[in-house]
Amino acid sequence: MIYRSKAPLRIGLAGGGTDVSPYSDLYGGAILNATISLYANATIEPLADNKIIIEALDRNEKLESDWVSALPIDGTLDLLKGVYNRIQKDYGARQQGFRLSTFVDAPAGSGLGTSSTLVVAIIGAFSEMLRLPLGEYDMAHYAYDIERNDLKLAGGRQDQYAATFGGVNFMEFYADDKVIVNPLRVKEEHLFELENNLVLYYTSTSRESAEIIKKQSKNVTDNKEKSIEAMHQLKQQAQRMKEALLKGKLNEIGEILDYGFQQKRQMAEGISNPLMEEIYESAKKAGATGGKISGAGGGGFMIFYCPGNTKYNVKAALEKFGGQSRNYLFTQHGLKTWTI
Report the pLDDT value the prediction gives residue 212, as an integer from 0 to 100.
Answer: 64
What's the domain range around 194? 188-325
C-alpha 38/C-alpha 117 separation (Å) is 11
Measured on CA atoms in the order 120, 122, 128, 133, is the torsion positive or negative?
negative
In a domain, 340, yes or no: no
Which of 152, 170, 185 terminates a domain? The answer is 185
282 within domain boundaries: yes
C-beta of residue 163 within 8 angstroms of C-beta of residue 11: no
Cβ atoms of residues 250 and 256 within 8 Å: no
- Angstrom distances, CA of residue 230 to CA of 260, 265, 271: 9, 8, 13
Q: What phi and psi, each to the nearest 5 degrees, are found at residue 152? A: 60, 40
171 and 203 belong to one structural domain: no
Whether 233 is covered by a domain: the verdict is yes
Same domain for 139 and 277: no
Domain check: are 207 and 284 in the same one?
yes
**Residues labelled catalytic:** 159
Q: Encode the chain (340 residues) as per-residue pLDDT tens digits.
A: 999 999 999 999 999 889 988 999 999 999 999 999 999 999 999 999 999 999 999 999 999 999 999 999 999 999 999 999 999 999 987 788 999 999 999 988 788 999 999 999 999 999 999 999 999 999 999 999 999 999 999 888 999 999 999 999 999 999 998 999 999 999 999 999 999 999 999 987 765 555 666 776 777 877 778 888 989 999 999 999 999 999 999 999 999 999 998 887 776 666 678 888 899 999 999 999 999 988 755 678 999 999 999 999 999 999 999 999 999 999 999 999 999 9
* pLDDT reported for residue 93: 72
Beta strand pairing call for 51-56 and 98-104: parallel
Do 298 and 236 share a structural domain?
Answer: yes
Task: Give me the CATH number covering residue 58.
Answer: 3.30.230.10
Residue 336 lies in a domain: no
Would residue 69 count as lying in a domain? yes
CATH at 246: 3.30.70.890
Please report the DSSP string for 88-134 in residue order. HHHH---S--EEEEEEESS-TTSSS-HHHHHHHHHHHHHHHHHT---
Between the alpha carbon of residue 226 and those of residues 87, 231, 261, the distances in Å are 42, 9, 15
337 in a structural domain: no
118 and 71 inside one domain: yes
Q: Are both 171 and 194 inside the same structural domain? A: no
Q: Are residues 156 and 239 in the same domain?
A: no
Q: What is the pLDDT of residue 89?
A: 95
Do 160 and 262 lie in one domain? The reply is no
Final residue belonging to a domain, choices 144, 170, 185: 185
Query: What type of residue sits at position 136?
Result: E
In this structure, the strands spanning 336-339 and 3-14 are antiparallel
What is the per-residue pLDDT for 332? Answer: 95
Q: Do 32 and 108 reside in the same domain of the chain? A: yes
* 264 Cα distance to chain centroid: 17
Q: What is the pLDDT of residue 187?
A: 97
For residue 156, how many other CB atoms are within 10 A of its CB? Answer: 28
214/205 Cα distance (integer angstroms)? 20
| Same domain (yes/no): 123, 137 | yes
- Whether residue 308 is contained in a domain is answered as yes
User: Computed over its alpha carbons, how large is the radius of gyration of the chain?
Assistant: 20
Q: Which residues pair with 264 in a beta bridge?
A: none
pLDDT reported for residue 269: 63
Last residue of a domain, one of 165, 185, 205: 185
Alpha helices, DSSP H, located in the chain:
23-27, 78-91, 114-130, 136-145, 158-165, 188-197, 209-221, 225-247, 253-264, 274-285, 311-318
Task: Enumerate the β-bridge partners of residue 11.
Answer: 34
User: Residue 236's CB: how many other CB atoms inside 10 A?
Assistant: 18
pLDDT of residue 266: 72
- Do 248 and 281 belong to one domain? yes
Domain count within the chain:
2
The answer to whether residues 136 and 257 belong to one domain is no
Cα separations (Å) of 21 from 82, 167, 246? 22, 24, 28
333: in domain: no
